[in-house]
Structures are given as structure tokens and as C-alpha cells.
Amino acid sequence: MINLAKKLKNMSDNIEEKIKQLSAELNQHNYNYYVLDKPTISDFDFDLKLKELEKLETENQQFFDPNSPTQRVGGEIIKSFNTVVHKNRMYSLDNSYSKEDILDWEKRIKKMIGAEDVEYVCELKYDGASINLSYSNGILQSAVTRGDGYQGDDVTANIKTIRSIPLVLKENLMGDFEIRGEIILPLDGFNKMNEDRMDIGLEPFSNPRNTASGSLKLQDSAEVAKRPLDCLLYHVVANKNPNKTHFEALEMARKLGFKIPVTNKICANIEGVFSFIENWDTKRYKLPYETDGVVIKVNSLAQQDELGYTAKSPRWAIAYKYKAEQESSVLKEITYQVGRTGAITPVANLAPVQLAGTIVKRASLHNADQIEKLDIRVGDTVYVEKGGEIIPKIVGVDLSKRPKDSQPTKYITHCPDCNTELVRTAGDAKHFCPNEYGCPTQITGRIQHFISRKAMNIDGLGAETIQLLFKQGLVHNYADLYELRESQIIPLERMAEKSAQNIIAGIEKSKEVPFEKVLFALGIRFVGETVAKKLAKHFKSIDNLLKASFEELISVDEIGDIIAKSIIHFSANPINIALIDRLKIYGVQLEVSAESQVGKTTILSGKTFVVSGVFTHFERNDLKKSIEDNGGKVASGISKKTDFVVAGENMGPSKREKADALGVPIISETDYLKMIG
């Protein structure tokens, strides 16, 4: 009996070992084919090995591995994508369009770090969908889209179908880390997809970028697996990065099995950067992927750390965008849009034209001054390009083709939605409709802003539904949402019982949204996400904020005259006060919750800190959060206003010199921990 048990165990061990061996072999073949582009086995032989592994796994489910090569085919159905907060924020890049812009950037960074020579890495800017991959112990844990930079959608099941993304790393050299890149659709694969679609009578996809992005949100991962998506990686985020430079970190990632573009290049100086830009201006058209520019990064990780970030972008990187594609089209009509703040935007309605991979029918004309400056008229043949290759805009007029009976454009004098006479204040580029609470578009625009993802994030509600609810007289402001009932929603067009239940549930859940997001949702002019956070942190409640004087408001860090006047204007309107009173009754969070204040103190109140280096007890973001949780302020650069520099290993030398020169105390991580008790 003992011998039989031993025999069975040996058989089981042999099967497990065979599964591991086949998985490792197939992973290597995937890497050779999809990353190195050097296959060492035929497709037929690969498929035979894959079927053998599938059979072994099916017959021995105790050895199932979610990261097995057999799981690349997808099949998971995702009804909705979970929103995930990024552990490390995904910033956007500053754009430049000339050598002068890059020289100005270089001047700024050299001044900040006090360096004569700076080494750079140049990378081609691939046009796709940004992704953040998280690994722990050498295994892929999650894949999250960029979203708004603070949070994105978990698309792990779909990402696992992309064969150039390793599910299990060859080695575990960096512990827990994140790696960022671009999900792209190679041009050959895109063209083949479109040929197949047209063969069966379907509309072709417009461009590879949008198709790649849309593929990530398909609900059936088996469908994603059919698309020839690829992933190029460009940035490693690790608390304990063993490398000293950005280029070394990418080379380590390459060894681990990631697809790192071979076009990356170290440039010893800015002349090398310009040479790289010029070289790829024409060569980029021979690449198998779409690219629209070059990303220039400071190579030294210590210098990157020293330069830090602005509110939106890393200071240590900049994108150079190649000249935008330009086409001509006929301006058929000028229409006018009303924004939620009442701002009027003129829109050019064009004869359809293919531009940078998409069909363009509309372009912004910005304001009356722009129309007058370019003398844009209906019937003109105009030059259209995409600003940053995203937003179409008119940049000129072909006067040789202007019709003889052409008449100058007369800018509208009354709101196109409510016929109220427009106003334009001194120094403002735009005209405004002052009928704030009677103009239909402003009313629905404010409600749409209120329910948006960055604000109250109410599931089930969108712009069309808000328009429908407004037309039916069910909502006239955002407070009305909290009085909606299922029985009112079900009879509406395209609605059913389940849809109505989801909307009511989403509205109910929004009562848990923290005060800072509610404050942003109220739509006070000039109070964006960042300002709302600062105001919520300082005033703690809507009542404290709305009774604050002008002097109290401008005493808050980064709150200037314009924002302060806007808040006072908002609080002086009895309609706004009545809406807020109703939100209080419904249970919306209009003050900082007691739970969110747990563990927070005012020990560091009035103190400004700069964080530099690598730490033992904290990750950098956690240290910054700890400072803020204890009432302190975190600044990116050292100045006379800095009270302390918290220094870890590899602190930037220029920061140390500047701190010494200004007499700013440099404290250790241990000193900081003692400071907060």
C-alpha cells in the first residue's frame, strides 16, 4: 500500500515537472517570437506543444496556473471594469514643438540641479494606449489603464492575451515594481483587420491608436486575443531600483523579458538630442508602428529624483512633437456651443477630410478674436491641423479660393440656446451667456459635471441620460438627482427596470464620495480637482468655506484673487445656498469625515518639507503622504521657505548644496519619525 502511494506521488511529481517544463519552454518561444522577432520553432510545432500542455492541465487541474501560456487565448467575460487607484500617479508629458522649447527646458533643469552636463535618453513616442503593469515576485499582478492619471480601469484579463507582455519574469531582480508602456497596434496587423472587416461588409477602423485603446475595453478577452496588439515599455517605477540610470533600468527590464524599443538612445548632450530628432523625422515612416514624436528624458535617476514633478508633468522629461499633419477643407457652416460655465465656443463645420488617421468634420475656432485675426468666413477653403495631433484646429485660409460673394463673419450677439444677450468682460477671450440658471445647456452641463468620474462618479448616468431626464422635467439641477425614483426612470426611452435600479444605486452610493470630490463636483468656477483638495483640507466643511472672507481665502496655499472672488460670488447666490442645503438633507458629504481624519495631526502645521533620496521605512509617496497627514506641506524644490529636507540614500548633490547654502536643516528618516512622535 505504501509503495502504491509512493508510486502515485512520483507520477504526480513527474506530471507537475512536465507542466512546468512545457510552460517555461513555451514562454521562451513566445519571447523569441513576439519580443525578439527571432522564432526558433515553427508555428506547427508550437501549437503541438501548447495542445500537449492544455491536455496535461485539463487532466491535472490541481496544477492549474493562471499565468500558464495556455491562458493567453482569453475567454473571460468582463461585464464592467473595476476602477483602480494608481499606487504611483501616471503623469502626462509637457509638449514642445521647436528646438527653442527644448533649449528652454534644458536651461531650466540645469539651473535646478546645478549641473553643467546632463545626459539624456531619447525614445520614440509611440501612438497607442498607456498601460501600467504591476509585478510582484516576478509575476504579473495587474494591468491598469492610465485613466485620469490618478486612477484607471483594471484590464488585466485583456492584457494577458498580449503575447509580448510576460506573465512570469525570467528573474526577480527588482521585487515589487511597476512598468509602464504603450499598447499599440502594428500597421500590418491593423491593415489586415480592416481588410477582414471590409470583406464581411463592416466599416473599417479609423486608426491604430483608437483601435488599440478600444480593444482594451472589450468585454470578451477571447476577442482581444484575436487582435494583433503589442506592448512597448518605456518606464520602470521601483522603490528600490538597483540601477543608477533610466537606460540601465530599461536594459534590466529587457533582460527580464519585456519588449523595450531598440531605437532608444543615450545622448551625451542636447546636440545629440537634436540629431536623434532629425534622424527620425523621416525614418519614422518606415517603422511598423505609428509614432508622432520623441520623448527626451534625463538619464540619471538621482537627477530625475531631484527635479521631481510639477502639478501635471515630470520636470525631467519632455515630448517633442513632429510637425502636425495639415489638410485643406471647405468651411460649410459656423455653429456655436455653450459650455457649462456659459462660455461660447465657435465651431467650424467642415467638408469631411482625412487627417492624421481620422475623418475630421469639425474644428474649434476658439473665439471671436481668432475668427477676426484669420478672417475666417463660411465658404472659405481653410487649412486644418491637429493641435498636438489631438484636437483639430483651423490655422489659415486659402484666400485664392475665396468665393467672390464672400461676407465677413458676424459673431453672434445672443445665446444660441436661450437667446440671452451675450457678455464679454475685459481681458476675457470668450463671450459668455449670463443666464446661468435658465440656459438649458448650462443647466445640463453642470449636472453632467456633477456626475462625472472625477466628481461624484455616479454609475449608470451619462450625458444622454441627463439630457433625457431634463427634457422630461425630472431634473433641473444636481440636487434633483437625489429625489429620483425608479418608477420615474423606467418609462423613459432606452430604459428598463435594471437600468433604473443601477441609476438609483449609483446616486445612493455617491453619498459616500468624500468632501473634496463633492466640492469639485459643485462646479465653482476655477475650482478644479487640485484646488478643491486644498480648500477641503483647509476649511474642513462647505459651511466654513462659504463664510470665509477674501483675506481668509487667499491665505490658503496657492489660492489667488481670481479663485477667491469666484468662491465669494458663488456663496453670495441664494440659489447655490439652497442647493447645498438640499444636498445636506440628502446625506451628501459636505464636510471632511471623522474617518478620514484618523491618524492625522497638525504636528507639522506651517512647515514645508522637501523629500530627496531613497528611504528604508517609507516609499517616497508614503513619506509625502505622512507629511501631509501631519499638517505639513511637501514642496518639490528647496527655497528660503523650506523648513526641512528629509534626506535618504542617493540624495541629489545640488539639493544638498542648496540646502546648506540657504541654511535649511537636513534631517534623516529617523529624525522625521521622531518629529511626528
Residues taking part in catalysis: 125
Instruction: For 238-290, list the strands marked E by DSSP.
Output: 265-267
Mode of pairing for the β-strands spanning 230-237 and 381-387: unpaired
Identify which of 614, 673, 675 has the alpha carbon closest to the alpha carbon of residue 647.
614
Number of Cβ within a 10 Å radius of residue 287:
15
Residue 93, all three cell numbers: 508629458
235 phi and psi, to 5 degrees? -155, 130
DSSP string, 127-182: -SEEEEEEEETTEEEEEEE-TTSSEEEB-HHHHTT-TTS-SB-S--SSSSEEEEEE
Q: Which three cell numbers stand for residue 182?
A: 504603450
Residues 6 or more apart whose Cβ sits within 8 Å of residue 295: 93, 122, 123, 124, 125, 234, 317, 318, 319, 320
Q: What Å distances lie between residue 299 and 118, 170, 266, 294, 304, CA to CA?
A: 8, 25, 8, 15, 8
Q: What distance in Å separates the CA atoms of residue 455 and residue 515, rounded to the nearest whole number?
A: 10
Q: What stretch of H or E contains 383?
A: strand 381-387
Q: What residues contact residue 661 under an 8 Å CB cut-off, 6+ apart? A: none
Phi then psi for residue 114, to 5 deg, are: 60, 35
The number of residues making up the chain comes to: 677
- Distance in angstroms (rounded) separating the CA atoms of residues 46 and 51: 9
Question: Could you identify the residue written with the cell 502645521?
Answer: 605
> Per-residue b/e over 306-344, b at no fewer than 16 CB within 10 Å?
bbbeeeeebbbbbbbbbebeebbbebeebebebebbbbb
